[in-house]
Amino acid sequence: MRRLVPLRQVVSLFLSQRGGAMAVGAVLAALAVLAGVALLGLSGWFITATALAGLVPAGALMFDVFMPGAGIRLLAILRTAARYGERVVAHDATLALLAALRERLFRGFAQPGIARALAARPARLLFRLSVDVDALDSVYLRLLVPGAAAVATALCAGVALALIDWRLGVGLPAALLLPGLGLPLWLAGAAERAARRRAAALEALRVRGVDLVAGQTAWLMAGRLPAQTEAVMAAEARLAEADDALHRLETLAGLVFGLAGALLLGGMGWAVAALGLPAPQAALALLVALAAMEPFAALRRGAIEMGRGARAAARLLPAMEAVPPAPAMLPPQGVALRLSALRYTPPGAARPLFDGLSLDIATGEYLVVTGPSGAGKSTLLALLTGEATPQSGGIALLPHALLSQRVELFQDSLRGNLLLAAPGADDAALAAALQEAGLEGLSLDSRLGEGGAGLSAGQRRRLALARVLLRDAPLWLLDEATEALDGDTARQVLARLGRRDGQAVLAVAHLRREAEMADRIIRLEQGRITGEWRRGKAGFAEALARLRPG
């Protein structure tokens, strides 16, 4: 039961967001059920009473048929209206909560710390995210609403029967609530393990499905396509097992509740006979007991969902308590980027990669960073963009635009991909940027597939460049800007990159052409600056010459 604690926080979060609508939904639900109970009970009483009155010749004339008759019809209409209102209000409230949750969670996930974990397993974490959000959906609709309705029904039915005989008034709620709430609680606990296995299997099915489709070529060429297909189906087999276990439990709970209901009805029959109640009251008590069992049946599915909802809540709550990231420090006037005594040890590394690294880039300066693989060039960029956080030392930089090594494009129109960099840009500006990047042939309306599928490596690169060009940032961070571009296009693009006045650039480069317009070249080796050459000073030409031609 302790596992269910996070649910409380979710409920209070929901209440703070849409408490009013939620309460209205629950009240309407209770009203609908109660109207149904009253309808049946009143009808039973009415028929029995009229039968007895009809036996006496004058009885029919004395009997007031108006009130019960009108009451029965009124209850019929009330039940319908309340049911419809409850459904609409409760679902709308739930979906509004979910929409708000999605946004809040995305913001939470966009923090540097979480973003890094996410970057390693986006499919798995995202799937959890959407499953968890869906699970919270059922907390209100399947748990709170039917729970409130069932408890209200049991209590009101108890009050009504207490007017006939206090023993019935105590006995009925007790006989309803004990199995009616006890079984769902037992079920929530018993189903927890199967629900967890089910969630894991569904996740595995999902992740392996993504791997199968996204990595189809790799599996195919390795001759492992059938094996990966079987891996997907193995997850499905585990899912089937867990589904079946859950259904077994749910059915068992239903069976026990059905048996308890049979006992309750038989017991009520015995009680009304033993108490010697008048027949109309006996009919009312029996029919109320019959109708009051109905709302408890709905609780079983809620109980199955309870464990899921609690786990989802436990996983999501930390992300939702996200604090906005601290704004980046701005460097002093005339400096575009300043690193001072930077110290950073990558996760899992024994020694720091950077130990006291300091570096200044003046506004308008074009700095090229060279160095072998593993020298720390990519990590340096990660630190600058806030993807990694240094253990000590200062980072101050102007607003910047990044051209990353792995081009990240999105399933969206070309326009949508460009607008990411400049939300306010009009089509003319976008088209101009495309042309500058050498993509004039493409339409802004053409749609890209997942991760920008549909473009060649060169086109992807150029589209990413267009994004950077669009970005009106005083500092550009370029990670191998012209890799995979043919010589002519690369030279065109580089010419554009170097032409803006006052534009500071930090470019990680391997190719000579990318370094040719540098004001300064530094060489990074094992996190240390081992060489620095300024344009026009000794060694600059030699430093250029050491780079890969192209």
Partner 1 sequence: MPESRAGAWLQVLASLLWVPQAALIAALVAGIAGAGGPLFWFAAGIAAIGALRAGAEALGQRMVFRAARAGLTAQRRRAVGSLAARSPLDTGRPASGAAAAALAEQAEAVLPYLSRYRPARLRSTVVPCVLLLVVLTQSWLAALVLLVAAPLIPLFMALVGLRAKEASEAQMLEIGGMNALLLDRLRGLATIRAFDAVDATARRLRAAAESLRARSMAVLRIAFLSSAVLELFASLGVAMVAVYVGFHLLGTLEFGAWGGRMGLGPALFVLLLAPAFFEPLRDLAAAWHDRAAGEAALASLDALAAPPALALPEARAAVEAEGTAPGVSVRGLAFRHAGAAGPVLDGFELDIAPGEHVALLGASGAGKSTLLALLAGLAAPQGGRIAIGPRGLEPAALRGRIAWLGQQPELFAGSLRANLLLGRPGLDPEPWRRALLPDLPPDRPIGEDGAGLSGGEALRLGLARAVLPPGAGLILADEPTAHLDAATAREVTTALLLAARGRTLLLATHDPVLAARMDRVVRL
* Interaction residues for partner 1, span 270-329 (CB under 8 A): 270, 272-273, 277-279, 282-283, 286-287, 290
Q: Does 84 bind partner 1 (CB under 8 A)?
A: yes
Taking CB under 8 A as the criterion, the residue among 3, 23, 83, 415 binding partner 1 is 83
* 90 or 339: CB nearest partner 1: 90
Q: Which is nearer to partner 1, 346 or 356 (CB)?
A: 346
Nearest approach in angstroms of CB 7 to partner 1 is 21
Whether 44 and 286 have beta carbons less than 8 Å apart is answered as yes
Between CA 489 and CA 503 the distance in angstroms is: 21
Instruction: Using the minimum distance from each CB to partner 1, give the nearer residue, 189 or 458.
Output: 458
Q: Taking CB under 8 A as the rule, does residue 486 contact partner 1?
A: yes
Whole-angstrom distance, CA of residue 69 vs CA of residue 306: 42
Axis crossing angle, helix 5-55 with helix 279-292, rounded to the nearest 10: 150
- Residue 103 binds partner 1 (CB under 8 A): yes
Which position among 15, 165, 215, 234 is part of the footprint of partner 1 (CB under 8 A)?
Answer: 215
Q: Which stretch binds partner 1 (CB under 8 A): 78-86, 336-344, 519-527, 531-539?
A: 78-86
Query: What is the β-pairing status of strands 528-534 and 335-344?
Result: unpaired
Number of residues that bind partner 1 (CB under 8 A): 168
51 sits near partner 1 (criterion: CB under 8 A): yes
Of residues 56-75, which lie at the interface with partner 1 (CB under 8 A)? Answer: 59-60, 63, 65, 68-69, 72-73, 75
Q: What are the strands of the beta sheet with 392-397, ordered from one edge?
A: 354-362, 335-344, 392-397
Q: How far is CA 397 from CA 335, 481, 506, 536, in A?
A: 8, 20, 11, 27
Is 330 a binder of partner 1 (CB under 8 A)?
Answer: no
Alpha-carbon gap, residue 114 to 386, rounded angstroms: 12
Residue among 256, 32, 46, 269 nearest 168 (CA)? 269
Phi-psi region of 7 (alpha: psi -120 to 50; beta: other; left: phi over 0): alpha
Could you say which residues in the range 511-550 bind partner 1, by CB under 8 A? 511, 546-550
Site string for partner 1, 216-235 (x = CB under 8 A): xxxxxxxxxxxxxx--xx--
Confirm if 21 and 140 have CB atoms less than 8 A apart.
Answer: no
C-alpha to C-alpha distance for 17 and 248, rounded to whole angstroms: 36
Instruction: Note whether 458 binds partner 1 by CB under 8 A.
Output: yes
The percent helix, strand, coil of the chain (3-state, each to 5) is 65, 10, 25
Give the residue with the Cβ less far from partner 1, 4 or 22: 22
Residues of this chain, 163-192, that bind partner 1 according to CB under 8 A: none
* Residue among 420, 429, 444, 529 that touches partner 1 (CB under 8 A): 420
124 binds partner 1 (CB under 8 A): yes
Q: Cα dihedral angle (146, 148, 153, 158), rounded to 10 degrees?
A: 140
Which residue, 464, 467, 465, 477, is CA-closest to 369? 477
Among 15, 23, 24, 125, binds partner 1 (CB under 8 A): 125
Least CB distance to partner 1 at residue 239 (A)? 8
- Among residue numbers 336 through 365, which ones bind partner 1 (CB under 8 A)? none
